[in-house]
Amino acid sequence: MTPKTSLWLALALGLTLGGMTHATDKTMPAAPASNDPNLWLESIDGAKQLDWVKQQNAETVKKYADSAEFKQLDARLLEVLDSNERIPMVSKIGDHYYNFWRDKDHPKGLWRRTTLDEYRKDQPAWETVIDLDALAQTENENWVWHGAQCLKPAYQRCLISLSRGGADADVVREFDLPGKQFVQGGFALPEAKSRVAWMDQDHLYVATDFGPGSMTTSSYPRIVKEWKRGTPLSSATTVYEARSDDMSVSAARDNTPGFERDFVVRQIAFYDSETFVRGKDGKLSKIDVPTDANTDVHREWLLIEPRNDWKVGSKTYKSGSLLAARFDDYMAGKRELTVLFEPTDNTALDGYSWTRHQLILNVMDNVVNKLEVLTPQAGEWKRESLGGAPRLSTIAAGAVDEDHGDDYFLTVTGFLQPTTLYYGTLGQGEAQAIKHSPSFFDASRYEVSQHFATSKDGTRVPYFEIAPKNLKADGSNPTLQYGYGGFEISLQPNYSGNVGRAWLEKGGVYVIANIRGGGEYGPRWHKAALKANRLRAYEDFAAVSEDLFARKITSPQHLGAMGGSNGGLLMGNMLTQYPQLYGAIVSQVALLDMQRYTHLSAGASWIAEYGDPDKPAEWSWIKTFSPYANAKAGQPYPPVLFTTSTRDDRVGPVHARKMYAKLQGLGHDTSFYENIEGGHGAAADNKQSAYMNALAYTYIWEHVK
């Protein structure tokens, strides 16, 4: 789970407050774990547990993945993921444009580079920088790429992060970029959930597992240190220590010439943090904003996004706004703020990107994007339109190099519109299309529409529907409804060859529900389903289902539901609270045991989203949306498939294991599949991703067709 992140990747993979009682409430705390007969499954890598996993996997494969039809779908989905016609998205590092690429010949991937002139060609010439397949073979390790962090402005050295099997924990190694080789005796960190950043070529900021007591209860680093080249990590000097019940800590240096600054971030909880400026003397000066506000420093500017209404002097700034101030003036005590964006009932800030001289704003209006270009000046900043998305599509723009020029990349995509990549320069006419994603299915047979359902409390909930043009409204159409509803993450229109091939081509209807808990209407939409209000998200999802019935698009026996991660928790609650609405459910890499979640993997980091089940007052309402606690015998649950990954060290496989075991023991129709690799994405490479996709879609189709 990550904040402010597009969830279409999860879709393509087929996956990924108020009303609190007082502390004096006499509600009993969550039942002790010793009462749980499935507690033994919490030993993730135990031999007995993995044997159990393999046995359940074999049964699921025999039922759903042994047919010729399944194998054909698996192959067709892998064809999409491995296609050489996909757009190789790039990032500029120095004078080159870098891309990480997986295909049939390079399943683990290539980190490669090219020039802009080459990139503009239909078939660019690429130079391989790191061949991950070759590295994995040499080292006999299943490396999964976690990215590169390169030291600007020279970009001579990088820190490469590699994960075993896709887990969040990774190793970090120093890399010589011009020489295309790892630095012998250079900076290196063993496997951990590290936060590492360059200070200069001979110093790093490192937050990692330094030993007992150095990690938070959320399983992230508690201490950040300054590490000098050529010295042991044990001699690194402490910069800041967070509390053990904080979420994490990190530090970084902004090496923008003329604006070099060091920052320390104390992540108190998922939505609360403090950011400090670290002086040359090591003294920390806090940026004085609410802890739940997001901040961003760019050259002379400080941007602030308050998540609650914020009163500054005589003015009140709306939750979800974007505000600007001159950084040095603000740190000196001045509070001259310029409103760059203010939300309305239908609009929310989707993101922004700095170029050298301007700021590109991306705004959602009823979940559809439009772009603006803002130029800093005294008073109100100058505003110009950069265009809007075609109807029911998504448009996004970002700087190519925020330190040098005003060039930008722009993408346009839609459920039926393959992605197009544009390259342009602000103030120099329209951007030019330079790359086109291929079509993986015949989109001319379908149409996209947006609808609004009315939730239990009267709230209008938007949803997208992708359906055949000749659809008969007779209630018999196999329909798949997808949702997420958490962490202020929005589900927006985007193209997926997998959805097209696995669902639409079979004649199915595909539905995306923009329920509360997400970010489709900014922080207010998210906060409406936080903690004690969590049930609002599930009521919204049910309302969309019921609207599909009212419109005679489908009926319960023909409606399937799917979601991953927090969306997997959503699926668990649709199973236990609204079983009458669905013919089948797929829950992926899910949270399900909300009594134990804070003690499993990184679960403690999400207390700000769900609450703390170890507090009796909070368990009184958390238990209302804990599928594992609420599953009972004798209930008419629809068939349900749980998928997960052994290497998922974020949510972990324990939830799915235990939920499946409990339902199986109660006599319900349930299936289970655990990929041994893959991390929270449930797949370590394209082949595994295609297989997990095919399994999920096949399972739903078999039950609702």
**CA distance linking residue 239 with residue 448, whole number of Å:** 53
Q: What angle do CA 386, 390, 396 make, to 5 degrees?
A: 50
**Are the C-beta atoms of residues 384 and 373 closer than 8 Å to each other?**
yes
Characterize 83-116 residue by residue with b for buried, 16 or more Cβ atoms within 10 angstroms of its Cβ, and e for exposed: eeebbbebbbbbebbbbbbbeeebbbbbbbbbeb
Half-sphere exposure of residue 201: CA atoms within 13 angstroms, side-chain side: 10
Q: Count of residues for the chain?
A: 705
Do the bridges between strand 106-114 and strand 127-131 make them parallel or antiparallel, or are there none, so unpaired? antiparallel
**CA distance linking residue 293 with residue 288, whole number of Å:** 10
The encoded tokens of residue 212 equal 């007992």
The helix/strand/coil state of 79 is helix
DSSP state of 565: T
The helix/strand/coil state of 21 is coil
- Quick one: 9 exposed, middle or buried, by C-beta within 10 A (0-12, 13-18, 19+)? middle
The helix/strand/coil state of 678 is coil
**The one catalytic residue among 565, 587, 601, 671:** 565
Write the CA distances from 55 to 49, 58, 178, 587, 666, integer angstroms: 10, 5, 49, 19, 19
Contacts of 463 (CB under 8 A, 6+ apart): 450, 451, 452, 453, 511, 512, 513, 514, 544, 547
DSSP letters spanning 187-226: -EEEEE--EEEEEETTEEEEES--STT-B-TTSSB-EEEE
Task: Give residue for tokens 């399972």.
Answer: 699
Task: Give residue for tokens 């559809």.
Answer: 368
**CA distance linking residue 595 with residue 600, whole number of Å:** 10
Give catalytic status of residue 490 as yes or no. Answer: no
Characterize 253-275 residue by residue with b for buried, 16 or more Cβ atoms within 10 angstroms of its Cβ, and e for exposed: bebeeeeeebbbbbbbbbbbbbb
Smallest Cα–Cα separation from 670: which of 679, 657, 682?
657
Smallest Cα–Cα separation from 534: which of 471, 441, 405, 627?
627
Contacts of 693 (CB under 8 A, 6+ apart): 12, 13, 14, 77, 498, 502
**Are the C-beta atoms of residues 371 and 361 closer than 8 Å to each other?**
yes
Smallest Cα–Cα separation from 41: which of 567, 674, 682, 693?
674
Q: Which stretches within 282-440 are classed as H helix? A: 327-331
Name 546's bridge partners: none
Neighbouring CB atoms inside 10 A of 200's CB total: 12
The encoded tokens of residue 104 equal 């049939």
Give catalytic status of residue 545 as yes or no. Answer: no
**The one catalytic residue among 106, 668, 680, 703:** 680
**CA distance linking residue 420 with residue 226, whole number of Å:** 43
Question: What strands lie across the sheet with 261-269, from one edge to the other?
Answer: 248-254, 261-269, 272-278, 284-286
Catalytic positions: 565, 680
